[in-house]
Amino acid sequence: MSDGLPPRVPKADAAGKSPLLEVRHLKKYFPIYKGVLRKLVNQVRAVDDVSLFVREGETLGLVGESGCGKTTVSRCILRAIDPTSGEILFREADDKVTNLAALDRSELRRFRPQMQMIFQDPFGSLNPRMTIFEIVSEPLYVNGMRSKTEREDHVAELLRLVGLRTEYMARYPHAFSGGQRQRIGIARALALNPRLVVADEPVSALDVSVQAQVLNLMLDLQQKLNLTYLFVAHDLSVVKHISDRVCVMYVGKLVEMATTEELFQAPRHPYTAALMMAVPRPDPSSRDIIQDLPGEVASPANPPSGCYFHPRCQFATEVCRTQTPELREITPDHFVSCHRAEELHLAGIKVNQETQI
């Protein structure tokens, strides 16, 4: 491990236990209607055949440009929006695997406590008309904890856990800074002892100094409470810092999934390599010319044929134009959806040895 990340999940463990969450061929199409008769004219393929898995106790980063469907994936997993098709397999504590995509709203309520979400916007995610106590204790109340003193004790414990003073309980969200609000959001997400926490860009709305605090808090809580994170972000440095494995999305499709180290050092998909190129390097002596990708991001309403990335890919061949590549495992734990993954040797980012302790 050259970047100093302790291996929280041994890779070999995958064979032993099935992943906590497995998503298979997830699709979410948003219809476009036109005219008085609301005729279906097209569909936006926000999520187009995404398969991924999250092992218990690990952090899976999900990165991609704005509009690539990463938030849609995370919301589909939580069934905040209903997927068009695909399977969302969730393993409960007793190893029973359930397909969440097939459940209706009332059946889902049993699973809600096990999967919680941390939101991007620390302002919009807390109801300004409720006190901190009301916000954090609501999940407890609706899940059957009716005694107020019991809830107060629980909320106090949660606030301590996320590093807030318990006297803050009576306050309203307007009395808090962005970082503090995000801690409140984390406390609410943890109220029900979830096993999977989906974090949708939890730090991108925060100041850089506060980002580090919140990320470290999340890592800390992961170790204490054995949490599993699905961490959605667009900031590669944040993802690299917190993730064990990383998925890269492009126009609704998953292009690559590998361990953080491998993905950053030896990307196998040309798009991942391009993303790595775009990371700014704090090296004033560097005279590298950054090569921009030609063209524009494809429209998910009108994606190109074959591989969605082929119009912008310098390695594209005939097969890329006609056939859609499947996501396949080319080396253990390294999944790529590229026809030429084996032949290409792409430059990643050498992880600086100095960062090691």
Please report, for the chain, how many H helices and E strands are present, in that order: 11, 12
List the end-to-end C-alpha distance of the chain, in Å, as a whole number: 11
Member of 91, 151, 241, 310 binding other proteins (CB under 8 A): 241
Q: Binding to other proteins by residue 124, rule CB under 8 A?
A: yes
Least Å distance, CB 125 to other proteins, is 4
Q: Binding to other proteins by residue 225, rule CB under 8 A?
A: no
Q: How far is CA 292 from CA 118, 228, 235, 274, 350, in A?
A: 33, 35, 18, 8, 20
- Output 179 or 300, the one with its CB closest to other proteins: 179
Q: Residue 357 and residue 335: Cα distance in Å, rounded?
A: 30
Quick one: which segment of 49-57, 121-129, 243-251, 301-309 binds other proteins (CB under 8 A)?
Answer: 121-129
Q: Binding to other proteins by residue 224, rule CB under 8 A?
A: yes
Q: Binding to other proteins by residue 346, rule CB under 8 A?
A: no
Number of residues engaging other proteins in binding (CB under 8 A): 79
- Output 3 or 87, the one with its CB closest to other proteins: 3
Listed residue (202, 196, 200) closest to 184, CA to CA: 202
Member of 145, 219, 293, 297 binding other proteins (CB under 8 A): 219
Query: To which residue do tokens 């890779």 refer?
Result: 11
Q: Binding to other proteins by residue 179, rule CB under 8 A?
A: yes
Least Å distance, CB 194 to other proteins, is 10
Member of 94, 95, 104, 283 binding other proteins (CB under 8 A): 283
Q: Binding to other proteins by residue 255, rule CB under 8 A?
A: no
Query: To which residue do tokens 């084996």 refer?
Result: 342
Which residues, other chains included, contact 286 with Cβ-Cβ below 8 Å and sequence gap of 6+?
A: none
Interacting residues with other proteins between 137 and 176 (CB under 8 A): 138-139, 142-143, 160-165, 168, 170-172, 174-176
Is the separation of the CB atoms in 213 and 9 below 8 Å?
A: no
Quick one: which segment of 64-72, 179-187, 297-305, 335-343 binds other proteins (CB under 8 A)?
Answer: 179-187
CA angle 4, 8, 10 (to 5 degrees): 110
Q: Binding to other proteins by residue 193, rule CB under 8 A?
A: no
Q: How many beta carbons lie within 10 A of that of residue 257, not counting itself?
A: 27
